[in-house]
Amino acid sequence: MLHPKMQDAINKQINAEYFSAFLYLAMAARFNGLGLAGGANWMNVQFQEELAHAKKFFDYVGERGGTAKLETIAGPPTEWQDALAMFEHAYAHEQKVTGLINGLADLALELKDHATHNFLQWFIAEQVEEEASADAMVQKLKLTKDAPGGIFQLDAEMAARLFTPPAPAK
């Protein structure tokens, strides 16, 4: 049985994951508005990843005999100056999510909930990849600052990104 404190914390994380999905979908819309379909694709893939993360948490609560509770999701920002601003926001957002996941792991240890702590290890590893991926795009976009045509090369790279659903729990 999932401890009530842990259930509440995971339910908050479910909400945070859905907000993340909305944030990336808003960024996809902005990339479309800038005429950068590859950037829109990159953000749409990120949107799908966040939905998968939310569902993974949702399912876990049920598997542990708890009740997942969905709350109202705040609307994300919708305007950014350019692609670099969006990726800087994405990188900062992923750092925030890392902090939230680490907080869940700390709570699991405090409650001696080793099953949840084990479950969270996948997310801890995932956040390393999430931060690295967003930061890599920030660094590449900074390099194109003095070469405006470089954004089109990066857009082609972003167009190649594909969504790979997480492996199901064993």
What domains sit in the chain, N to C, each tagged with a CATH number? 4-72+82-159 (1.20.1260.10)
pLDDT tens-place string over residues 91-119: 999 999 999 999 999 999 999 999 999 99
Please give the share of the chain, as a percent, with pLDDT higher than 90: 93
Q: Measured between alpha carbons, how far is 6 from 85 in angstroms, rounded to an integer?
A: 35
8 Å CB contact between 19 and 57: no
Q: Which amino acid is at 53?
A: H
* pLDDT tier for residue 170 given thresholds of 50, 70 and 90: low
pTM of the full structure: 0.95
| DSSP code of residue 82 | S
